[in-house]
Amino acid sequence: MNSPASEPETPASVTVVGIGADGWRSLAEDARAVLTAAAAIAGSPRQLALLPDLAARRIPLPVPLLANLDQLVSESPGLCVLASGDPTLHGIGATLAQRLGAAAVRILPGVSSVALACARIGWPQHEVAVVSLVNQPPEAVLAALQPGARLIVLCRDRRTPRAVARVLTERGWGASELTLLEELGSSAEHRSRPVPAAALTATGSADLCVLAITARPGPGAVCGRMPGLPDSAYETDGQITRRELRALALAVLRPWPAALLWDVGAGSGSIGIEWMRAEPLARAIAIEARPDRAGRAVRNAAALGVPALQVVTGTAPDALAGLPDPDAVFIGGGITAGVLPACWHRLRPGGRLVAHAVTIESETLLHEWQREHGGELVQVSVSYCEPLGGFTAWRPALPVTQWQVTRP
């Protein structure tokens, strides 16, 4: 029996070529052939300057890039796009594949700056965390810090290493060892000697640079991605889900990649912050009625390494209108008759909801919803050892009733 003929492959509409700091010299033959035959080549001015005299029309990448990317592709049939190193590692190759579909994009990767940096300092790539600061503030490195952890930081420009050193020093990681690697793969390549973050005061000499960090915590440094950070890690006016209950709630919510959490009644922002710390690819929106607390949540998110936390100032349920539907919901800042149905009906199928109640009225609502929708009710009592006159006693906190449920 003859097997059915396979369908001919559709030629990719965009080709992405990874190019290193040494330019044309290190490109493979297939990459050179693509660039030689291209009608249009887009890239940064630095990347375009690395090419020899070719027939293609040269197009500087538009600014802002994402807002103009679709127009660039539609107006340039057979476009070839230059990317630094490996285009799928925090690069435009993955962005184009996501927007156009993998079949429409051909990617010819080069050697990434991460691979080059690890090769220069002898680090195994699989043991290294990569943080891109190309489009993030320097505080984003903080969530990845653990004692002895090795990080490769992709820098926006020559000022980034100094900014990172300042953040590390301010947050108790000033003893961390920093190595600056510049112009990797080019004849001008340079690697500095490791220095403590607290001692790095000079700006780099090249915009094309990466920073290697060996994390060394000092007293007071916040470590690790596991939920349940000390309450003292947060700036708060007392409106915070305490450490033990926070760890319990996040153990039930179980963050996963690309999942969106609504933290309703966010207070100091602790649930959304630790959701994002636990899973770097997860997202969170904190909804808080009071502007002063919303501002505090923003500051806490930056200080704890997740500046991408989105904070919405407003009162639920009205503040939920227009937000993308969540994959998980935490309600901890006052449960009313309107908040629960608004969150439940917007929660995606298979999504998880956790709600905490401390008042009889809120607990009654949870009992009603548990009878109708299932899930589990748990009451948690925590006591803290505190001074009592000249002695020591256990002082109980208010018991908290938790409803945990998965939407069918």
Q: pLDDT by residue (tens digit) across 43-70?
A: 999 999 999 999 999 999 998 888 898 8
Q: Which of the 8 DSSP states describes residue 147?
A: T
* Nearest alpha carbon to residue 41 among 12, 16, 62: 16
Select the more confidently predicted residue: 145 or 337.
Answer: 145
Residue 336 is predicted with a pLDDT of 83
Cα angle, residue 392 at apex, residues 388 and 397 outer, rounded to 5°: 75
Instruction: Indicate whether 10 pLDDT > 90.
Output: no
Residue 12 is predicted with a pLDDT of 72
The model's pLDDT over 162-176, given as tens digits with 9 standing for 90+, comes to 999 999 999 999 999
Residue 202 is predicted with a pLDDT of 83
C-alpha 399, offset from chain centre: 34
**Other CB atoms within 10 A of residue 141 CB:** 25
Q: Which fold has domain 231-406?
A: Rossmann fold (3.40.50)
Residue 78 is predicted with a pLDDT of 86
Confidence of residue 11 (pLDDT cuts 50, 70, 90): low
| Averaged pLDDT, 127-156 | 97
The model's pLDDT over 361-395, given as tens digits with 9 standing for 90+, comes to 999 999 999 999 999 999 999 999 999 999 999 99
Contact 273, 249 (CB under 8 A): no
Q: What is the mean pLDDT of the chain?
A: 94
Contact 266, 325 (CB under 8 A): no
Tokens of 314: 């407003």
Residue 376 is predicted with a pLDDT of 97
Burial class (CB in 10 A: 0-12, 13-18, 19+), 38: buried
CATH 3.30.590.10 holds for 14-111: no
Instruction: Indicate whether 329 pLDDT > 50.
Output: yes
Instruction: Indicate whether 6 pLDDT > 50.
Output: no
The model's pLDDT over 108-128, given as tens digits with 9 standing for 90+, comes to 999 999 999 999 999 999 999
Confidence of residue 204 (pLDDT cuts 50, 70, 90): confident
Contact 185, 22 (CB under 8 A): yes
The model's pLDDT over 243-285, given as tens digits with 9 standing for 90+, comes to 999 999 999 999 999 999 999 999 999 999 999 999 999 999 9
Tokens of 260: 């969106």
Q: What is the CA radius of gyration of the chain?
A: 25
- pTM of the predicted protein model: 0.91
Instruction: Indicate whether 402 pLDDT > 70.
Output: yes
Q: Which fold has domain 114-214?
A: 3.30.950
Lowest mean pLDDT among 189-193, 200-204, 295-299, 321-325: 200-204
Residue 215 is predicted with a pLDDT of 98
Tokens of 391: 């002695």
Residue 163 φ/ψ, nearest 5 degrees: -65, -40
**CATH topology of 14-111 equal to that of 231-406?**
no
Residue 406 is predicted with a pLDDT of 98
Annotated domain spans of the chain: 14-111, 114-214, 231-406
Instruction: Indicate whether 38 pLDDT > 80.
Output: yes
